[in-house]
A and B are shown apart, each in its own frame.
Chain A
């Protein structure tokens, strides 16, 4: 499970809190992969657009 929390009472929270199971690293990796995928998708769209003009 990548989302969810064990916090049921805000008075017990005195520092960082995280809405996810496992490590924060998982979401870091997922978001980096997404950024790279967006760049690849953008490059493919651009390439196709230039091919049409040619």
Chain B
């Protein structure tokens, strides 16, 4: 009898080991797969920005986009991942209530000079988490990239991308997208799908840069009216936008915490980054409703396929903050409001003589802020954390959080771009802009058979 019990115990232990191994590798694979899905976002931004550029600038826009992605990876490794774990409670780098933050924790969990940030047979999580966050970081840089096309210097832009992607947004994520983040623990801030910490920060950073960068030659007439500067391939831009939306599924997949691991919030169900429950089913309802509401509202507002696809993206951004909480028809309404806001804000930005080539300030900045505030309007009262006595989600907390995201994006964007401007590293010379950036600094041509002999179209102001 004792031998049988011992045999059963050994068999049970072996089964538990096997199940733990399966769960561990499934969790690892789950986050690993978010990465190629998020690479679709960058494939989309590449196509979108090149399409939105005139043919004379198509490849220069592509280079800028590729470089932002490439430089974010090492710089996020050097600094971004450490910032996320070191700064949730603020600049003091003290530990938060949960104990997964602060200087000492970050040195253990995210030291770029330590063994934790490398191959380790006992750690199947750090690398894939880092990878998913690095993709979020690259997304912030790509959000900015499209607005600045056709007149920004490549290295100046790359420096801005590094500042935004590896330093600025991740500080916002530490504050509002971490269970020890001070916005969460003190104000009940909730931003499940990063409406604020990714989109609003990137959009307002972009606004700060645009003010110093100035408009493209020919964008505005002397009387202040604006000329439309059409990109050379609207189909490429539209396909790019759809690829970004496909990639968003990976982005939002990366916003959940897999169950059943030592670092998980529990077993049996996914959790948000705050430890509150969420299911992929709930997210699916609301992502699809967000897509639909935003696209349809933008169609009614503009009848323009470019803005419809931007509206679809804006719809998802509008509901991203509360994807885990909304009732799907409610998500449709929230997304439709986002789809209405977006073109109105884009027109206002243009009226202010700011040349935002792809409308990122409206789409990501202002609609991102709408997404944060919408959580306070439509989902107040839920506990913001899983712990007992946690603060609840309130409109007040969301509005304060939105203001923090706006300031955290705008101020560094404005200051760093101003410094680059003073150093002569922000804008290309007028002669280069008129000739076309591809001819000036790219060794190959985008369309040698079609466009080599014909000059680019000019606006009346040119």
Contacts and interface: CB of A to CB of B under 8 A. Distances in A.
Contacts of A31: 74
Given A32-B78, A42-B155, A42-B158, A24 B113 contact: yes
B388 to A, nearest CB: 35
A53 B115 CA distance: 48
B103 interface: no
Interface residues of B, number: 28
B120 A16 contact: yes
A49 B121 contact: no
B159 A39 contact: yes
Contacts of B425: 43
Contact of A46 (B120, B154, B435): B154
Interface of A: 13-18, 23-25, 28, 31-32, 35, 39, 42-43, 45-46, 49-50, 52-54
A46 B155 contact: yes
B74 A16 contact: no
B441 A46 contact: yes
A50 B428 contact: yes
A47 to B, nearest CB: 9
Contacts of B428: 50
Contacts of B429: 50, 53-54
A23 B441 CA distance: 40
Contacts of B71: 35
21 contacts: A15-B121, A15-B122, A16-B118, A16-B123, A17-B119, A17-B121, A18-B118, A18-B119, A23-B113, A24-B113, A24-B114, A24-B118, A28-B112, A35-B74, A35-B75, A39-B159, A43-B425, A46-B153, A50-B432, A53-B429, A53-B440
A17 B116 CA distance: 10
Given A13-B121, A50-B440, 18 more contacts: A15-B120, A15-B121, A16-B118, A17-B119, A24-B115, A25-B113, A28-B112, A32-B78, A35-B75, A39-B159, A42-B155, A43-B425, A45-B441, A46-B153, A46-B441, A49-B432, A49-B441, A53-B432
